[in-house]
């Protein structure tokens, strides 16, 4: 089970790089196992070439200092998302350009593509908060608790949640594609 999840997360790293949804060491990924433990990407990992060694596994109730020192500096927003909704099994944070660009221009996501809401769910734009901060994590947790599937982090990137790694990746790809379409229409 854990091997499958690690393979899926490693694959996400390659896919988001190849499709231009993320670049370099930006972003971080996690999944919640059936036993409640969380698998999270380590800090400063190049996503295109990551392996299963680039993840740390810990109990979110008692993570221990060593695990948190290794885990992505955005671990708080991942844990807040899991706390906010029991159904969430995967959290992907990426610096996807089109979604981030929509967030630079607006304070709410334009409801121009009805299908996007059906297939992705609610996409919200969060006001700017510093990377890795408690406030950012609180905001993301609150948005996920209210049913958001995609939370755009103003002047930063995007967080996508799903009931599986595959669902989170699908949502990210569809939301980014929708954002790209909206930006093209606004030119
Ligand atoms: Zn980031």
Give the model's pLDDT for residue 126: 98
Global model pTM greater than 0.85? yes
Half-sphere exposure of 3 (CA within 13 A, CB side): 0
**Beta bridge partners of residue 153, listed in sequence order:** 126, 157
Give the model's pLDDT for residue 35: 97
Give the model's pLDDT for residue 187: 86
Distance CA 110, CA 181 (A): 11
> For residue 44, what are the contacts with CB-CB under 8 A and spacing of at least 6?
25
Q: Which two tokens stand for residue 39?
A: 């698998």
Give the model's pLDDT for residue 75: 98
CA of 84 to the centre of ligand 1 (A): 20
Going from N- to C-terminal start, the domains of the chain cover 2-186
Distance CA 126, CA 124 (A): 6
Surrounding residues of ion ligand 1, Cβ less than 5 A? 157
CA of 159 to the centre of ligand 1 (A): 9
Low-confidence ranges of the chain (pLDDT < 70): none
Q: Would you call 115 helix, strand, or coil by DSSP?
A: helix
Give the model's pLDDT for residue 1: 84
Contact in structure between 44 and 28 (CB atoms under 8 Å): no
CATH topology of domain 2-186: L-fuculose-1-phosphate Aldolase (3.40.225)
CA of 122 to the centre of ligand 1 (A): 20
CA of 26 to the centre of ligand 1 (A): 6
């Amino acid at each position: 089970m854990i091997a499958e999840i690690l393979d899926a997360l490693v694959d996400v790293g390659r896919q988001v790089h190849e499709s231009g949804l993320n670049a370099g060491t930006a972003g971080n990924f996690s999944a919640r196992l059936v036993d409640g433990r969380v698998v999270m990407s380590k800090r400063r990992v190049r996503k295109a070439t990551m392996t299963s060694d680039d993840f740390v596994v810990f109990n979110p109730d008692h993570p221990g200092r060593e695990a948190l020192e290794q885990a992505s500096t955005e671990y708080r927003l991942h844990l807040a998302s899991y706390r906010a909704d029991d159904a969430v099994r995967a959290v992907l944070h990426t610096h996807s350009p089109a979604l981030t660009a929509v967030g630079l221009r607006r304070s709410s996501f334009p409801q121009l593509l009805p299908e996007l809401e059906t297939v992705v769910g609610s996409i919200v734009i969060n006001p700017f908060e510093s990377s890795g901060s408690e406030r950012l994590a609180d905001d993301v947790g609150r948005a996920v608790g209210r049913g958001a599937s995609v939370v755009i982090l103003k002047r930063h990137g995007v967080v996508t949640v799903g009931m599986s790694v595959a669902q989170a990746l699908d949502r990210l790809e569809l939301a980014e594609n929708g954002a790209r379409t909206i930006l093209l229409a606004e030119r």
